[in-house]
Amino acid sequence: MDLTTLAGDDTRGNVVRLCAKAANPVRKDLLEAMGMADAGITTGAVCVYHNLIPYAVEALKGTNIPIAAVSTGFPAGQISLPEKLKEIELSVASGAKEIDIVISRTLVLQSDWKALYDEIAACRKACGEAHMKTILATGEIPTFTKVAKASMVAMMAGSDFIKTSTGKESVNATLPVTLVMVRMIREYLELTGYKVGYKPAGGIAKAKDALNYLILMKEELGHDWLQPDLFRFGASSLLGDIERQLEHYVTGRYSASYRHPMA
C-alpha cells in the first residue's frame, strides 16, 4: 500500500510519524512471533502533498521507500495545464519518485478523448524518470463505458498506473469499477505487451475488503499484479486493521487500535 496523508491540517509532525510507520508498518513483537522479523517489510510508498515532500525526504533517508506526491491541482484538477506541468516538475525536483496526477474530468464527461490523451501525455513527459499514476476519479464519471475509455486513453498516453480515486470524492474505489479498469489493463496488455499497474484508493479500510481486491487481481490479471510494482492500495487507515488482524492471528484475541503505533 501507499501510506497516505492528504489532509488540510497536515504538518511536519504528521509526515514524520507517517514515514516512521511506513518503515516499520507492523509491531516488532508480531513480526517475531510470525518468524518475519528479518523480512524487511515496509509500505510501498508514502504519499503526501507537494509542500510536504522535503519532510518526507528527510524522514525516509536511509530507506528504499519512495515518496509519491499528489499533483496537478489535486483533488479537483481545476487548474490550467501549464500549472499542472509546473507542479509536477517541482515535485520531482523536490525528491518525489512517483507522481499521482488527476485528470480533467470535464474531458471525460464531454468525450474529448484526444484532449485527454494530450493532457496525460504532457504530464507523463513532465514526470521524467518518476513513475506516474493517473487518477480517474471514477466516482465523478457517470458510466462504466466512460471509465473504460478513460482507462485506455490513460494507458495509451504513458501512465505507469491507473488509479480509481483521490479519496475525496463521495464514491471512491468499488469492486465493479475495479473490474472494468483491470479488464482494460488486460486488454491493453494483450494489444501492446505492456503491463500497467492498478491502484484502488479511498474507502478500503478493512483487511477483509482488501482481500476481495487481491482475489480479483489474482483472478483477472495473475500473480504479477499481486506485487507492489503493479498493484498498490491507496490507504490511510487500512494498515491499522491489518495489524490488528495479525495480532489476532498471533494471540487469538483482537486488540484495541490504540495498542498499535499510529500512522
Q: Domains (ranges, CATH) in the chain?
A: 2-259 (3.20.20.70)
The answer to whether the predicted template modeling score (pTM) of the entire model surpasses 0.85 is yes
pLDDT at 258: 82
Looking at the chain, the number of H-run helices and the number of E-run strands are: 10, 8
Find where cell 487548474 sits.
79
pLDDT at 235: 84
Question: Where do the H-state alpha helices sit in the chain?
Answer: 12-23, 28-33, 53-59, 81-94, 105-109, 113-127, 144-156, 175-192, 207-221, 238-251
pLDDT at 92: 98
The verdict on whether 100 is a catalytic residue reads: yes
Q: Which of 2, 100, 160, 241 is catalytic?
A: 100
The verdict on whether 163 is a catalytic residue reads: yes
- How far apart CA 253 and CA 245 sit, in angstroms, is 9
Q: Which of 21, 84, 133, 199 is catalytic?
A: 199
pLDDT at 244: 93
Amino acid at residue number 248: H
pLDDT beneath 50, residues of the chain = none
The verdict on whether 209 is a catalytic residue reads: no
pLDDT at 102: 98
Q: Which of 146, 160, 163, 241 is catalytic?
A: 163
pLDDT at 150: 98
